[in-house]
Structure formats: C-alpha cells, structure tokens
C-alpha cells in the first residue's frame, strides 16, 4: 500500500520524540484502516461530523486529534472519544469542553491554537490573548481540560525563511509561557506545528507534533 510506504518514509526521518498525526480528512476509512493495520494509531480530522462517522467505523483504540476550527455547539459530539483538541481558540470553548467532558468523566488534552500566519483566514488566539488566558489562571478551575501546549500554522508560502521565523516565534512564546505559567506543570510539553510542506522546518524549530495529510494520503480533491 502506497499510504504505508509514505508514512514509513516520513517516520524514518522524524526524531523519536515527535508524534506524527496522519491527517485523514476527506480520505476514506480504508486508507485509515491500512495504516491502522500497519500499527499507526494517531489520526487527525478537521470536521466534527467526519470524525464522528469515521470513529464509528474504525477500531476504538485510534487516537483522534481534532485539528480544525471547533464550534462550541459541536463539542458534545467528540468529547466521548477524542484524544486531543489542537484548535482551542477561546476560553468559552475551554469551558464547553470541560462541561461536556465532565459527563463522561474524561480529561481532554487540549492545545491553545495561536495565530502566527499572515493570512487572516486562519483561526487562533494572538500571543497576547493566550498570555492573558494563562495569566488569569482560569483554566486551572477546569478539571476535565488538560492544557498540554500550543498549536500553530505558518503562512502558506514558498518563502521558507518566513515559515521558519513564524515557527521560531511560536517556539519562543511556548518556552516563555512554560517558564512563566507552567513551571509546576511538566506536561505542558507539546508544540503542534508542521504540515506536509513545512514539517522538516517545524521539527528543526522545536515541534513535538507534526500534522501531515497530503504527503501520506496524496492530494485532496474537495
């Protein structure tokens, strides 16, 4: 299978501390199952409905990563099974995740998405908004949410020096937040950055989770 070869090739290049999330959005469950049978467990989706449908058709021990913009009214559909939410971009969303996860007695790993790209279309908090959230400490009162780190997407450009500087600024912010607010929380240790075209740079700049779709599954036809 092509997808297995592709995944194996990427994995061989990644340092062992970097988690590879295979982004399977728009791709059939057969492709996911092939990778599952080859031993892979971490998959990413960006739409709630699609993730729920695939979850129902696939083995229970898959680790599902929500990487797309999440509306509060859809949180309830994924909290029973989701492994990590990379795209938390408001305190309101954190509150909703906490409330819904409580019903299942699950603690959900969350990343705060930071807007580092030039494009305005990309979601996420500004550095300042995220710092205000950490400064307030309000998330500490949410026992069903575990903030594990940050996520960011670089500008979609061929200018790799620009991409590198965006990743670098996110890593610097991550280190600063860790030092200032999470010194007693050693599991604030995840930085999700890097996609098919920029994951090598992201890893060089300190990524611990890469989210790779087209390089594994081929181009998407929307």
The footprint of ligand PLP (CB under 6 A) covers: 23, 25, 46, 67-68, 153, 195-196, 211-215
Task: Give the shortest CB-122-to-ligand PLP separation in angstroms.
Answer: 9
Helix %, strand %, coil % for the chain, to 5? 45, 20, 35
Structure token digits, residue 210 = 């890469």
Instruction: Return d(Cα 42, Cα 115) in angstroms, integer.
Output: 24
Half-sphere exposure of 85 (CA within 13 A, CB side): 34
Task: Give the shortest CB-101-to-ligand PLP separation in angstroms.
Answer: 22
Residue closer to ligand PLP, measured from CB, 20 or 130: 20
Residue closer to ligand PLP, measured from CB, 86 or 100: 86
Looking at beta carbons, which residue is closest to ligand PLP? 213
Task: Give the shortest CB-192-to-ligand PLP separation in angstroms.
Answer: 8
Residue closer to ligand PLP, measured from CB, 46 or 208: 46
C-alpha dihedral, 148 to 150 to 153 to 159, nearest 10°: -120
Structure token digits, residue 193 = 């950055």
Task: Give the shortest CB-46-to-ligand PLP separation in angstroms.
Answer: 4
Instruction: Return d(Cα 129, Cα 91) in angstroms, integer.
Output: 10
Which residues partner with 145 through β-bridges? 108
Task: Give the shortest CB-170-to-ligand PLP separation in angstroms.
Answer: 14
Residue closer to ligand PLP, measured from CB, 35 or 142: 35
Q: Are 97 and 80 in contact (CB under 8 A)?
A: no
Residue closer to ligand PLP, measured from CB, 24 or 98: 24
């Amino acid at each position: 299978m092509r997808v297995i070869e592709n995944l194996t090739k990427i994995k061989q290049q990644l340092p062992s501390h970097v988690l590879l999330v295979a982004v399977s959005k728009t791709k059939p469950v057969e492709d996911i199952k092939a990778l599952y049978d080859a031993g892979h467990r971490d998959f990413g989706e960006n739409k709630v409905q699609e993730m729920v449908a695939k979850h129902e058709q696939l083995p229970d021990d898959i680790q599902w990563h929500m990487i797309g913009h999440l509306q509060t009214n859809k949180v309830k559909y994924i909290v029973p099974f989701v492994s990590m939410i990379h795209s938390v971009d408001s305190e309101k969303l954190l509150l909703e995740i906490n409330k819904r996860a409580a019903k299942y007695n699950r603690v959900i790993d969350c990343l705060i998405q930071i807007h580092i790209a030039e494009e305005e279309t990309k979601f996420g908090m500004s550095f300042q908004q995220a710092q205000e959230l950490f400064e307030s400490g309000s998330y500490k009162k949410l026992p069903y949410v575990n903030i594990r780190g940050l996520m960011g997407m670089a500008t979609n450009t061929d200018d790799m020096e620009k991409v590198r500087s965006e990743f670098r600024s996110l890593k610097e912010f991550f280190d600063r937040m860790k030092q200032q607010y999470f010194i007693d929380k050693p599991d604030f240790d995840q930085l999700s950055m890097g996609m098919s075209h920029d994951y090598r740079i992201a890893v060089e700049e300190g990524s611990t989770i890469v989210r790779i779709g087209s390089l594994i599954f081929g181009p998407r036809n929307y």
